[in-house]
Chains A and B, each alone.
Chain A
Amino acid sequence: MTGSSNDVAVAGVGMHPWGKWGRSFVTYGVHAARAALADADIPWSDVDLVVGGETVRNGYGGYVAGATFAQALGWNGARVATSYAACATGAQALDTARARILAGMCEVALVVGADTTPKGFLAPNAGERWDDPDWLRFRLLGMTNPAYFALYARRRMDLFGATQADFAQVKVKNARHGLHNPYARYRKEVSVEDVLASAVVSDPLHLLDICATSDGAAAVVLTSVDYARRHGLDSPVRVKAVSTVTPTFPHTVLDMPNLSTDSSAVTGVPERTFKESIGRAAYEEAGIGPEDVDVAEVYDLSTALELDWIEDLALCGRGEAEVLLRAGDTTLGGRIPVNPSGGLACFGEAVPAQALAQVCELTWQLRGRAEGRQVEGARVGITANQGLFGHGSSVLLAV
């Protein structure tokens, strides 16, 4: 892949293993940050920007900010920024770092996302908030996150003929992918029967179709291509695009945590859905098409959502993801492996770290160093995710 003036280099990546460790998010973040700096062989003193991924889900120990990590690593005078974009937080933090590097305002940026999550359903903050859709959806409807995932899953069944066994097969695939990933929380083979025998949470989704919430941390060291070259990195993995687009009115796909969609009656339905536009913006920015992609890390909050994302990223046509799945195309060794890391199925979600974890995995894949789960010959990788409140991201990486 030839370089462009809008590239930045991924000099180093690092993670703290996902799990339920019962420690502070700061501990995980510092672990991941030090791992990324060691991977880059760059001293902390060279870092001139720290960007932290933040989460607004409160009620648990700790508020996350860039400065939290900068202080924990030992104040070095670096500039600091903090990003919040729900599940896309990590990618937005990465974009902030990238923009300052491309503007010539810094050379070495450390991006950190870390989280400690509560058990069970993610619930809104305490207190009565009658103007907050995230509070109202629970009070008025009892509408949990898995219930939204289930709405999307059911549409695949009624419109495209997907089955619960298809969804289970996504879990089987991802469980197998994650078996040898040292950062994955769940490293155990799962059968279709296991998934179908687990309790139904929100029909048609079983417990094993839905990702858990986890503690974890991921960090990325970004540098200018010039700094990378001076540092002896001649062909680093490069960030070719970061898409953090918002929806286009009218946003007609029902989105967590909303109780309704925009009306399309006056303006008509937009050409692309929000999720389609996220990937498209990344492709356009990079000048790379879906046909060039070798590997994808997508946000499988549920098994069925992985299938949605494969289509949203234009890796196949609408309604065709089950065909790819059944043919083994999305498995390691297949035409377009999806979630070689094991995905959220093996990790569980650590919100502000997750989009960065996707970038870590693709970096290892593009370096050819993803031991036990390598996509052979991978040169181009794409990530995708979507979070609450109109946030979403897609990062395109190439080597």
Chain B
Amino acid sequence: MTAPAIEGWFTTGADPALLGTRCTTCTTVFFPKADGFCRNPACAGETFEEVALSRRGVVWSYTDAQYQPPPPYIPASDPYEPFALAAVELPEGLVVLGQVARGYGVADLRVGQEAELVVETLYTDESGDRTIWRWLPLTSGHLTELGEEADQ
């Protein structure tokens, strides 16, 4: 069975989106979800509504992981395949980190370019695929096979 690697953080389906919360008092948006009390120091709000964040944003920066990260990271493959990471600034005024969509590497990214949210498999365990949000670079230049670049 395919299921998100973490419950309630994003929607799946044709147009997936991150799920945050919006303070009903000052309208500040939070991702991951805030509840209980608003972290805007000028706001005493205590009620929040769930909100789907914009699916497109602008790349704030990017990198990759050429060595296998330590646990609790669960590698998707053996041998390890490097992956790229991007921080994307959304119209809601916040930057959200994510892995980059499979098949794309740092050569496909620039600060300031557009990226769109997709949902892909992060790892597979005994109950099936565990999915995660990722950033798909738009208007990408040249495609690179990340795995071939990082063979040291």
Contact = CB atoms under 8 A, between A and B. Distances in A.
B95 interface: yes
Interface stretch (A151-159, A176-184, A334-342, A391-399): A151-159
B110 A249 contact: no
A138 B150 contact: no
Find the residue from A130, A137, A262, A263 having the highest chain B CB count within 10 A.
A263
A271 B42 CA distance: 16
A141 B99 contact: yes
Contacts of B26: 266
A150 interface: yes
Contacts of A138: 69-73
Find the residue from B27, B73, B112 having the highest chain A CB count within 10 A.
B73
B64 interface: yes
Contact of B41 (A123, A152, A159, A249): A249
Contact of B132 (A124, A140, A150): A140
Nearest to B91: A265
A142 B65 contact: yes
A151 B61 contact: yes
Interface stretch (A17-25, A26-34, A195-203, A223-231): A195-203
Nearest to B30: A263
B92 A265 contact: yes
Contacts of A120: 70
Interface residues of A, number: 46
A345 to B, nearest CB: 20
Contact of B73 (A130, A142, A201): A142
B66 A261 contact: no
A123 B70 contact: yes
Interface in B15-51: 26-32, 39-42
> Which secondary structure characterizes the binding site on chain B?
loop
B94 A139 contact: no
Interface stretch (A1-9, A237-245, A252-260): A252-260
B1 interface: no
B40 A259 contact: no
B74 to A, nearest CB: 7
A222 B70 CA distance: 40
A137 B31 CA distance: 14
Contact of B40 (A135, A144, A266): A266
B65 A202 contact: yes
A291 interface: no
A155 to B, nearest CB: 5
Interface residues on B, range: 35 or more
A144 B93 contact: no
Nearest to A150: B63
Interface in B125-152: 132, 150, 152
B104 interface: no
A260 B95 contact: yes
Interface string A137-171: 11111111001001111110011000000000000
B28 A141 contact: no
Nearest to B133: A140
B58 interface: no
A201 B67 contact: yes
A203 B63 contact: yes
B111 A158 contact: yes
Contacts of B69: 121, 138, 142-144
Contacts of A144: 65, 67, 69-70
Contacts of B67: 121, 144, 201
A136 B98 CA distance: 12
Contact of A264 (B66, B85, B94, B98): B94
A140 to B, nearest CB: 6
Interface in A243-286: 249-250, 252, 254, 258-267
A158 B112 contact: yes
Interface of B: 5-6, 26-32, 39-42, 60-67, 69-74, 83, 85, 87, 92-99, 106, 110-112, 122, 132, 150, 152
Interface of A: 120-121, 123-124, 128, 130, 135-144, 147, 150-155, 158-159, 199-205, 249-250, 252, 254, 258-267
Closest 8 CB pairs of A and B: A265-B93, A150-B63, A158-B111, A142-B69, A123-B70, A151-B61, A263-B94, A263-B93
20 contacts: A123-B70, A138-B72, A141-B97, A141-B98, A143-B65, A144-B69, A151-B60, A199-B152, A201-B66, A204-B63, A205-B63, A249-B40, A259-B96, A260-B32, A263-B93, A263-B94, A264-B93, A265-B29, A265-B94, A266-B28
